[in-house]
Structure 1
Amino acid sequence: MSKHHRYSGLNDAQVAESRRVNGMNILTPPEKEPVWKKFLEKFSDPLIIILMVAGVLSVAISIYEYAVLNEGFKVFFEPIGIFLAIILATGLGFYFEQKADREFAILNQVNDDVPVQVIRNGLTIEIPKRDVVTGDIVLLNTGEEIPADGQLLEAVSLNVDESTLTGEPVAHKTTNPDDFDPDATFASDHVMRGTKIMEGHGVMKVLAVGDNTENGKVFVAAQIDDSVKTPLNEQLEGLGRLISIVSYAFAVLIVAGRTVMYFTNPAIEFEWVHFLAYFLQTIMIAVTLVVVSVPEGLPMAVTLSLAYSMRRMLKTNNLVRKMHACETMGATTVICTDKTGTLTQNQMQVSDTCFYGLEGQKLGASLLAHTIAEGIAVNSTAQLDLSSKDHPVALGNPTEGALLLWLHSQGIDYLKLKESVVLVDELPFTTERKYMATMIDNECGKRVVYVKGAPEIVAALCSVFPEGVTRSSIDSSLMGYQNQAMRTLGFACAEIPSGNNVDLKDMSSLGDALHFLGIVAIADPVRPDVPQAVDEVLAAGINVKIVTGDTPATAREIGRQIGLWNENDTDRNIITGTEFAGLSDDELRERVGDLKIIARARPMDKKRLVEALQSNNEVVAVTGDGTNDAPALKAAHVGLSMGDGTSVAKEASDITIVDNSFTSIGRAVMWGRSLYRNIQRFILFQMTVNVAASFIVLAGAFMGMQSPLTVTQMLWVNLIMDTFAAMALATLPPSESVMHEAPRSRTAFIINRPMGWMIVSVGLMFFFFLFGLMWYFQHTALDSLTDMWRATFIVENKGFSSYELSMFFTIFVFLQFWNLFNAKAFATGRSALHFKGCSEFVMIAGFILAGQIAIVELGREFFNVVPLNFTDWLIIIGGTSVVLWAGELYRLFGCKRKNA
């Protein structure tokens, strides 16, 4: 550090005043939501609300039946079942999210007690980072994290890793205005809190602390919950509205129809007391229909599906923190991703070497090879952490570290080479010179100067070139590397004759001794799995947009390597952060669909991009690992942080990609789409049953027919339709075929046309069959189904015998049982009997089958049943299986028509 400057810093009074005005250097932690509030939020689900209304109405009916009609306590089983469904649905969701919160540990938190060197009262002292104030003079050294935002007063070979804010691993900092980078995200003489000094040292004056720093602004923005509605929430709200409208319409129809029947029946003489009793009974029937039409198992099915997927997705390296994110990934239409660490490995590596005379060879034992290896080893400020021999880690400047890693991969011990020479002089790298030099005495007693830097600058210093190598050939090689967005370094050396005096600051003192050795190209390589993963999500109809702090050329080349950027793309598909900021909101919404790359992006650019896409009705997922990504992660429908990302990024995200792989994002999309399909299957199953049940109640209301199912029987039916069916369909495995479909529209209704047709047609077929069966049983006397064709018809309504009730109950259950298999096969293009990966489904189906047999054979008075003979069991199970075989024929011929 220069000794020409002496700083006094702040005095104690100035420190106190600065802290009073500008606050302490800490980030205000996010306010945690109370646990009770999180639990109550689960009751805001639209279907839960409808279910609670249905529960209250069911309680009213039960109280009337218990107090007025003198029926037993069993009338309360129905409302108890409804409220149990509510508690299970809300409780399961709350439990799994709380469990994920506990599992999701923030891997790193800001340490406010790290010591920082500052100058105060004319003295250099150490204070905790939390005590740094605006106006402080701070000393900066290699390896330290910058404690606050500030302006540099001095900078010596200062390079800063700004990847957590901009994605740029090396940003050169200087106080010389002539060397400022006009395209830099942050001014070249400014340094930011949370970034790290990779090499060099300096002095800065603090301009902002705590929440007022760029890091703090990002942290605060990440806490803002935009409460973006998920596509599933919107679609379930639509379903809730439809159910409410239809059920209320049916209820009004019952009230109106039965009232008209009362006044038009000539056999009834009007009496107020009689009419009020009749009208109250009508209201009870209408309310019963409303309760029957509500799919109380749907919230539980959604919760079970989400919870199951949440656990299984962890096996595909997706740690889900917010349950809704499982499904929302399936609706994603755009993925906004950063470059460094997500698409690339975030580790600079030697991509190609062009040492003339050693082309395509490993460094061997030749004199030239030794010279190159020695030059790289001694003319470097980086080090290697070799504590893990299989995975050495570069320390210091990433570019120089890449050279040492390359030497290590060649089997060369850089430390041994370094220790075998005597260091005579060094010339550090500066942006003015664009090269560095080291003079050594090697073990042969020779004095050698090694030079490394920008190839065009190093070549201009050289007098001797390998045979056949010219400046134009060097320029041609450089152009090829630069077109691939690689960083290039040129190497040269000179042997100094004994007695010659050399000043490294004046390269002309070397005379004609400097030999040009060659060029090395260094890049942050694309992760091997990324091109295929990007191709997969593009094929799934999902757009990908890169947001990076890198230069447009580098970003464009990465886009080309991963298959995103192609020859048809133009300047309309790429934009810089400065140009992006210059667009009005309307201009951005008009252009955002065409953008593929935003280069030189600032921290809040990605958040603005997300909001612009959302305003265009896109479902947006955001990937990121840096603090700069946190606002966008929070604002997106789904935020995906990387496993080795910053704690701020993880806190703002919904899912953490444990292995940092873009491939895992594709797996998350597949799980999300499959999960949504499973929810549709449950809706298809349960709404079919509800349609049949609602029409039975409606028809019975006008015909005065006795209900064939008791309360306890309906409790078992609801258990099948709700809990067991939800578990069975929630555990169906994901299908890769969903990745060949376009993303669904977020405005689409959750019941699509094929579902709607099946719900209405199958529901009505069940109704006509069951209604006909009810009517037949009430006008015949049957002891077995084998007597159906010989039974004597009875004109008057005789009601149901115990055996007939048992048969009707069993037939009703097995119709739903076989229809569960049809629901399983919905939209798969496969047979319902395809059970690969469906062991849980088979187990639950087996339990339903065994449960129904046990209840009929052993339930007796509690379930109002009597045992059936073996022949009737065979007839019922075989006869109702027509539901499955009809579905199989429909799928078989439907697929043939589709493929024709």
Structure 2
Amino acid sequence: MLLVAAVVSFFLERHTDAFFILAVLLINAVIGTAQEYSAERNLESLRNLVRTYARVVREGESFEVDAEECVPGDIVLLEEGMKVPADLRLIETHALNVDESLLTGESAPVSKDASAVLKWNAALGDRVNMAFAGTIVTRGRGKGVVVATGIETELGRLAETLTDVESAKPPLTRRMEVFSGNIAKAVLIAVLLIIAIEVRRGMDPAQVFVQSVALAVSAIPEGLPVALTVVLAVAVNRMARRNVIVRRMVAVETLGSCDFIASDKTGTLTMNVLTARLVAIPGHGYMEVTGDGISPEGEIRTAHGRPTEREEHLIKRVVTAATLCNEAFFGMRNGRWVHHGDTVDVALLVMAHKVGVMQADVTAKHPMVAQIPFASERKFAATLNRVGERHQVFVKGAPEILIEMCDRMVTIDGDAPLERDAIERCAADMANNGYRVLAIADGVVESDEEFSDKQLRGLTFLALIGMIDPLRPEAEHAVARCRKAGIQVAMVTGDHPITALAIARELGLAQSMEEVVTGPELKKAEHIGDEAFDDLIRQARVFARVEPRQKLDIVQSLIRLGHTVAVTGDGANDAPAMRAAHVGVAMGMSGTDIAKESAELVITDDNFASIVAGVEEGRVAYSNVRKVIFLLVSTGAAEIVLFFLSLFAAVPLPLLAVQLLWLNLVTNGIQHIGLALEPAEGDEMRRPPRPHGEGIFNRIMVERILLSSIVMGGITFMLYRYLLSTGSSMDEARNSTMLLMVLFENLQVFNSRSELRSAFSLSPMRNPILVIGTLGAQLVHITAMYTPWLSGVLNIGPVSLEHWARLLALALTILVAMEAYKMVRRRVPSA
């Protein structure tokens, strides 16, 4: 529309207007491009570009090659710390654990077993005889045959799906398309009617055309593109201060419009760090381990608070055993805590530090003599250590395995006969609450024969350790804020349903298994059809054991159900779903490159609360867009009302073409930019999301535009008609009409600051740029009235102070009318 207006203005030799409109378009393009380029540069700083190498066996020799050079049939050797270079069918495993959170979202490493025989339809997270490209070996060694590389790997298939996934159209884009179409039709109809009526009355067609083009340019909100870009650019900068990088400017408003957030669990809602949270000593109840993450800050508390002296002795015995039977490292290096090794072992060392048991001290005091490393087929690990003059064994592993090794258990009153049922009940209770349960035992070994599992008999059962990937500290509050803002939150994870439900309970997302849907259930519903699938999605708040492709299906179902969907995640498994959603939100610290590339927003601190802050800024942005649109459309509509009333009354048109263009300049030249800078009103997160199908012109917007345009246009017409009827010249009548419209439209700026709040309740100092810009625009018009050459061009001139007062009194009626409307709307919202 603006390009057409520019071309018409150029051919009518109104070069200033043409170049002004083209400048508007150029400024819009430059600001948008610069902002998105800046976001890309910020994102570039977050990337960790590390080449992957692989150790392969070819023709009997082992050597290192670039992972890109691996081909099907290669034998690849795996060891702790390596990134798996391709999809491998494992042929040997030795205590091999692999972190597959990249693909599955499950935080706990997967124990691999080359000898396992699986069902043909085993879920990705259950394929323990495979190692997948991009995953990390956290423990042990292994050997596998390359069966897929590049795009044929599970990771590659995820990347390939991104090319087939069509992103949902952002709500702001959809609304602006409808808005632009409606404005174009309305202005075109109005202009054609004016041309038809004036030509029929005998007015010169060329003059009518010039006048009509001027009215069209004035009525078309040509300042909107720049204002819209400014609104989004301001929101982008505000989001950056709240740890959100915006890669696509329109995503700012999209996040604000979302009514459903499908969040990844691991690394987003939780810390992606296995943490020991409970210690259960048989017959003595639970002890809580405080503190989260890889930090030794915290303590172990009993049900009555600080442990007694006897309880402290038991705790020290448990954590000493966990520290000695341990292959990880946790300690201070260069002023910060560092760690490496299996995540379970690291969690045990962190727990030990919390009660003052240091790995270096106890291993020096009780040196290891021999060990049995952890293996998936054994489900336990053991070490033999010298304790004083004797040898003592320390064991950790699955509760059901260690129970068979023990005939006694520790109690607060000393060792006692083993109570198998009590231990099994305790372990089951912890597992049902989402904890990963590990058992600890110790015992004395008298035999001098070589250390083996045959000697692990007659041990003393010490404790059960409950581990979990804990919630981020701010996650629960952030989810509660979403609920208050009318945003539904669902958790999508590859974790076990029980683990997922335990986290969901803490977050307040779900309370029972009825609200949990699993991957196999989704697969079954998918075979039935979209309707059955959507019914399953509609009620669920936790999706567990979900495969990457199913995350995409969930998002597409939510969109079919009418939601505006935001998807958060950090792994490659989240990328297709993020691409398909209305807005994808990637984690900047833990997120993979493929996740960041698929997202419109990147959270630099991996904090779910930052997403909620982004929602708030997005709502502020959309609110400001509506404020700008209201100002531009209502003032343009008032001019059209004025012209139509003049046509129906058969009087000369009240403003010349040059006056219309000048009016457009001094009433919309800077004020709409000031509105784009409006700060938050404070209640954004207490409002419900905008309905999915609602356009820019909802009922309130239409009512406000109709009321204000009729008041401004109607009163201005009555003044114009009155002046003509009392003997004023045409130039004098147009001069007063022009001045009244300037006053009306500048006062309308303050009505635009809020849809329902009184203009008098909003301090001018909240937005000094708006106040200064509006007063400055009024001053520009006054200057033009007193500048001879400019007043001559515009056919305007000075007026008396008394006349000024009368016009100002008339202009204040717009404030009275809109304040009355807001009062009624506040008292009767459904009116």
- Distance of aligned partners of 1:613 and 1:414 in 2 relative to their CA distance in 1, 3 Å threshold: same
**Could you tell me whether the CA contact under 8 Å between 2:518 and 2:546 is conserved in 1?**
no
3-state SS of the aligned residue for 1:674? helix
The residue type paired with residue 351 of structure 1 is R
1:706-745 superposed matches below 5 A: 707-708=654-655, 711=658, 714-745=660-691
Q: Does the C-alpha gap of structure 1 residues 203 and 852 become closer, same or farther in structure 2, counting only changes over 3 Å?
A: same
Q: Is 1:373 the equivalent of 2:330?
A: no
Kindly tell me: are residues 245 and 257 of structure 1, through their superposed partners in 2, closer, same or farther at Cα, counting changes over 3 Å? same
Change (3 A) 1:757 1:891: closer
Root-mean-square deviation (Å) = 2.9
Q: Does 1:819 align with 2:763?
A: no
How big is each residue's C-alpha offset from its partner over 1:162-198, in whole Å with a ceiling of 9 and x where there is no partner? 0111112311111122699955525211111110000
Q: Displacement, 1:159?
A: 0.4
Q: In structure 1, what residue type is equivalent to 2:236? A: M
User: How much does 1:689 deviate?
Assistant: 1.1
SS of the aligned residue for 1:340 comes to: helix
How far apart are the structure 1 equivalents of 2:259 and 2:18?
A: 41
Gaps of 5+ in 1: 1-49, 64-74, 263-276, 780-792
Distance 1:653 1:742 in 2: 25
Question: In the aligned structure 1, how far is the partner of 2:404 from the partner of 2:207?
Answer: 101
Q: 1:653 aligns with which of 592, 595, 599?
A: 599
| 1:457 maps to which of 382, 401, 407 | 401
1:341 aligns with 2:267: yes
Residue 331 in structure 1 maps to residue 271 in structure 2: no
Measured after TM superposition, the shift of residue 569 of structure 1 is 3.6
Distance 1:103 1:182, change over 3 A: closer
CA–CA separation in structure 2 for the residues paired with 1:768 and 1:426: 93
Partners of 2:666 and 2:389 in 1: CA distance: 89
Q: What does residue 194 of structure 2 align with?
A: 254
Aligned to 1:678: 624
Alignment partners' CA distance in 2, 1:641 and 1:85: 33
1:135-162 deviation per Cα after TM superposition (whole angstroms, max 9, x unaligned): 1111111101011111111111000000
Q: Using the TM superposition, give the Cα deviation of residue 279 of structure 1 relative to its aligned residue in structure 2, in angstroms.
A: 4.2
Aligned residue identity for 1:675: A
Q: Which amino acid aligns with 1:292?
A: S
Identify the residue that residue 438 of structure 1 maps to in structure 2.
383
TM alignment of 1:409-428, pairs within 5 A:
409-428=354-373
**Equivalent position of 1:59 in the other structure:** 10
Helix, strand or coil: the match of 1:520?
strand
List aligned pairs for 1:122-271, cutoff 5 A: 122-169=60-107, 170-177=109-116, 185=125, 187-223=127-163, 226-258=166-198, 260-262=200-202
SS in 2 for 1:59: helix
Separation in structure 1 between the aligned mates of residue 62 and residue 503 of structure 2, nearest angstrom: 46
1:217-244 per-position Cα deviation (integer Å, ceiling 9, x unaligned):
2233335562432111111121222222
Is structure 2 residue 817 aligned with structure 1 residue 882? no
**Following TM superposition, by how much is the alpha carbon of 1:858 offset from its aligned partner in structure 2, in angstroms?**
4.7
Bigger mean CA offset, 75-84 vs 865-874: 865-874
Instruction: Read off the aligned partner of 1:197 and give its amino acid letter.
Output: V
Contact 2:104 2:124 in 1 (8 A): no
- Alignment partner, residue 265 of structure 1: none
Q: Secondary structure at the match of 1:228?
A: coil
Alignment counterpart, residue 891 of structure 1, candidates 803, 822, 827: 822
Aligned to 1:504: 452
State the SS of the aligned residue for 1:800.
Answer: helix
Residue identity (%) = 28
Which stretch shows the higher mean deviation, 197-206 or 244-253? Answer: 244-253
Give CA-to-partner distance per residue, 1:862-898, whole Å, 9 cap, x none: 6644445555555544552332244334434543445
CA distance in 2, matches of 1:201, 1:369: 33
CA distance in 2, matches of 1:203, 1:738: 56
**Count, aligned residues:** 800
Equivalent-residue separation in structure 1 for 2:779 and 2:389 (angstroms): 91
SS in 2 for 1:392: strand
Given candidates 320, 327, 347, the residue that maps to 1:402 is 347
| Aligned ranges 1:540-619 → 2 under 5 Å | 540-567=485-512, 569-570=514-515, 578-579=523-524, 582=527, 584-619=529-564
Worse overlay, 522-531 or 250-259: 250-259
The offset of 1:311, in angstroms, is 0.8
CA displacement at 1:81 relative to structure 2: 2.7
Asked if 1:298 corresponds to 2:224, the answer is yes
Cα offsets for 1:655-699 (capped at 9, x unmatched): 111222222222222222222222112221111111121233445
Determine the structure 1 residue equivalent to 2:435: 486
Per the alignment, do residues 835 and 480 of structure 1 end up closer, same or farther by CA in structure 2, a change over 3 Å counting? Answer: farther
What's the TM-score, normalizing by structure 1? 0.83
Change (3 A) 1:833 1:435: closer
Instruction: Assess if the C-alpha contact under 8 Å between 1:58 and 1:291 holds in 2.
Output: no
- 1:849 CA drift (Å): 4.1
What residue is the counterpart of 1:37 in the other structure? none
Where does residue 294 of structure 2 map in the other structure? none
**Could you tell me whether the CA contact under 8 Å between 1:622 and 1:632 is conserved in 2?**
yes
Contact 1:575/1:598, CA 8 A, preserved across alignment: no
The aligned counterpart of 2:296 is: none
Secondary structure in structure 2 of the residue aligned to 1:342? helix
State the structure with more CA Rg.
1
Moved more, 734-743 or 818-827: 734-743
Q: Could you say which residue in structure 1 is the equivalent of 2:242? A: 316
In structure 2, the CA distance between the partners of 1:577 and 1:400, relative to structure 1 (3 Å rule), is: farther
Tell me: CA distance 1:371–1:799, structure 2 relative to 1, closer, same or farther (3 Å): closer
Distance 1:131 1:572 in 2: 41
Q: Deviations over 1:572-626 (max 9, x none)?
A: 6986565466554443234322232221122222122212222333211100011
Structure 2, gaps ≥5 residues long: 288-301
Counterpart of 1:392 in structure 2 is 337
State the distance in 2 between where 1:888 and 1:686 align: 19
CA contact (8 A) 1:224 1:634 kept: no
Quote the residue 1:40 is aligned against.
none
Give SS of 1:307's match: helix
Establish whether residue 96 from structure 1 lines up as the match of residue 47 from structure 2: no
Name the CA distance, whole Å, in 2 between partners of 1:556 and 1:634: 26
Match of 2:652 among 705, 708, 719: 705
Distance of 1:89 and 1:481 partners within structure 2: 58
Partners of 1:289 and 1:200 in 2: CA distance: 77
CA contact under 8 A between 1:305 and 1:679: conserved in structure 2?
yes
Structure 1 residues 859 and 606: CA distance shift in structure 2, 3 A: farther
TM-score by structure 2 length? 0.89
1:848 corresponding residue in structure 2: 777
User: What's the CA shift string for 1:202-230, capped at 9, x where partnerless?
Assistant: 11111111222121222333355624321
Inter-CA distance 642–524: structure 2 relative to 1 (3 Å threshold):
same
Matched, 1:524 2:469: yes
